[in-house]
Structure 1
Amino acid sequence: MRVRDLCTSDAICVFEDVSVREAAREMRRRHVGMLVVMERTNGPRASPCADRRMRATSPRCS
């Protein structure tokens, strides 16, 4: 088995100015545990954000 067999082909992205609550809703709606956070200001740049990081920093986001 390869990592690609476990991953979805489409990444779920949000922009950096989206609220944590809204990002958590999108993750729940799409049944994913991680989002790609895109920056608007510094050109095309992305960072991963996992659901457990959101829960650790904002437990009321769900």
Structure 2
Amino acid sequence: MIAPMKLGIPPRNEEVLTPAEARARYGYAKPAEAHLELRARQAARVLGDGKAPSGRGLIESQEILGPLS
């Protein structure tokens, strides 16, 4: 949000982290390295077996990103 900056409201915390520092602190993988097993299973399912992709990744991500609906 830009409103706090435009209104001169100071941040709650002055600390600024790079994406790499934040991933290390909070235990997240780099996006390119995240969920490799799931992505491999989806590729085998779709490209190998000719099936539609499963919604498992979407279901699992709801805890972080919020509900799908």
- Shorter-chain TM-score above 0.5: no
- Based on CA coordinates, which of the two structures has the bigger radius of gyration? 2
**Higher RCO, Cα 8 Å, sep 6+:** 1
More helix as a share of residues: 2
TM-score (norm 2): 0.28
